[in-house]
Amino acid sequence: LYSLGEPMCDLEPGTFQAADPNILERLKLCPALTGAQRDALNALLLSGDTAYGVPSSWDLQTLQDLGPLVLALDHTTLSLVGEAAREDFRRSIAASSISQGGSQREQSLLLLRALAAASAAPRPRLKRSSARCESEPVTANNIDDTVPFLSPEELNLCLSSEVLIENLEAVLDQPLTSGALQVLKKKVDEYFPSGIPEEQLRRLGELSRLYTEQEISQWQVTTSATLSALLDPSGGDWDDSQMQQLLSRYLALGGSLSGPLLQEIGGHHLCKLQEEQIQQIPAAAIGTAGQLNISSCSQSKKEQLYGKAREAFASLASTPSLYYCKIRPYLGGAPAEDLKDLANSGVINMDLATFLALNPQELQKLSVTDVKNLLGENLGELKRAEHEAVVLSWVHRQPQRELDCVLNIGLQGGLPQPTGTASSPAATTSMGTVTSPVPTTPASVTSSVTSPAPPTPP
């Protein structure tokens, strides 16, 4: 027995007809169906004894309602669906596949091919042994109607390099498998045997992500426009090693990293640059780069970037709240002296995440009052982080009396007050520095004194 909503992924195919009426909805939850289960599913749908009715009555909405089960439909079932419904569904799949990831796009392409095979007038299939295109050659006018339905082998034979280069963006807009993308890359490389011209690099899109570090090291990336086009996120993610090589090539050819480019690169990839490359970044670029997350940078790189940010935002120092807002992402590289100045500049209200990301060695140099002024209204949050290593280390260095009196948030583990000084106000300074207590006069001496000594003149 199956409870409501439980998938029937292990149900025997022979029992599909007699199963729960909601079996199709439950089968949608299964990650995959066996071949026998797919056959049983198609038989059930062909019978018309489901909420979807007979396949000949299906429209676009019905096909969409089938959800993942549509991938299990065989040629017989699909061929019974009206041609108009199949065409509408094909167009909706092709449109949505543009923004899909790799595995989803592969499934969409399989479905598109199944729909094409079920058409009343299917395209002639290419004989695998043939060395020439026996299907319809790809032209500028039929890209949408041909490219999605060609296997990598067919694409190689039916799409000329000339048509590809002239219509590269249109071809790349189609749902393409990884195998098809490799075919396109090979054609581009063959068309430009001496190297891809810079104006063509800007058009590569997701093809650019297929190139190795060695190949990227030969690219002519000399302008910010070319680098920006290659960084366009619509082309997919770059591997760290590819991105580092791309940026290194651009800088080696005399390129400069502007604020907008830094924003496109992102803090993560920025941190992968070598220190001498970071040194080439103009301070003004940091000033226009927006909020960069440099948490993955090494401490030395954080310090480099902080120095550039400090220079970029120096003119805002007279407005502490605005200055802090701009400098905050880079404070992980700030020295204690600058943090103290920031604490004394006004109401900062540093958030806990920024505080915990400060250079641990520099944080240890901050006094209790410094920390209170930095955190401001967020001081209470420090209690939640009392077991963080950097907070524990800082607490152990502070006088417990100051932690109690200045912070008053319940932090424990500070330096204890020296024994015998509790009743002597002179025993501690305002910063908790211990001084030697005045020795007590012995009783035998006290008894011989008949009058107090005169006060010492000022």
pLDDT of residue 149: 86
Phi, psi of 434 (to 5 degrees): -80, 130
Contact present, 81 and 118 (Cβ < 8 Å): yes
Those residues with Cβ within 8 angstroms of residue 33's Cβ, 6 or more apart along the chain or in another chain:
9, 27, 41, 72
Burial readout 408-445 (b: 16 or more C-beta within 10 A, e: otherwise): ebebeebbeeeeeeeeeeebbeeebeeeeeeeeeeeee
pLDDT of residue 324: 95
- Euclidean distance between the first and the last CA atom of the chain, given in angstroms as a whole number: 99
Which part of the chain has CATH 1.20.970.40? 135-197
Calpha distance 342→324 (Å, rounded): 8
Q: Where are the beta strands (DSSP E) in 27-149?
A: none
CA dihedral angle for residue 85, residue 90, residue 91, residue 96, rounded to 10 degrees: 130
Contact present, 404 and 423 (Cβ < 8 Å): no
Burial readout 68-96 (b: 16 or more C-beta within 10 A, e: otherwise): ebbebbbeebbbbbeeebbebbbeebbee
Ramachandran assignment for 402, one of left (phi > 0), alpha (psi -120 to 50 degrees), beta (any other): alpha
pLDDT of residue 304: 97
Contact present, 370 and 340 (Cβ < 8 Å): yes
- What is the DSSP track for 194-217? T---HHHHTT-GGGGGGS-HHHHT
Return the amino acid letter for 68. P
Calpha distance 448→441 (Å, rounded): 12
Tens digits of pLDDT across the chain (458 residues)? 344 344 567 777 777 765 666 778 878 888 777 878 888 888 888 888 788 888 888 998 988 888 888 888 888 888 888 888 888 888 888 777 666 666 676 777 777 777 766 654 444 444 444 468 888 899 999 999 889 888 889 999 999 999 999 999 999 999 888 889 999 999 999 999 999 999 999 999 999 999 999 999 999 999 999 999 999 999 999 999 999 999 999 999 999 999 999 999 999 999 999 999 999 999 999 999 989 999 999 999 999 999 999 999 999 988 999 999 999 999 999 999 999 999 998 778 999 999 999 999 999 999 999 999 999 999 999 999 999 999 999 999 999 999 999 999 999 999 998 765 544 443 343 344 444 444 443 433 333 333 444 444 43
At 8, is the secondary structure helix, strand, or coil? coil
Closest CA to 185 of 145, 216, 146: 216
Q: Which residue has the tokens 């009396």?
A: 401
User: How is domain 135-197 classified at the architecture level of CATH?
Assistant: Up-down Bundle (1.20)
pLDDT of residue 121: 42
Those residues with Cβ within 8 angstroms of residue 231's Cβ, 6 or more apart along the chain or in another chain:
238, 261, 264, 265
Kindly list the distances between the CA atom of residue 383 and the CA atoms of 269, 364, 396, 403, in Å, as whole numbers in the listed order: 34, 17, 14, 11
pLDDT of residue 430: 39
Calpha distance 229→235 (Å, rounded): 9
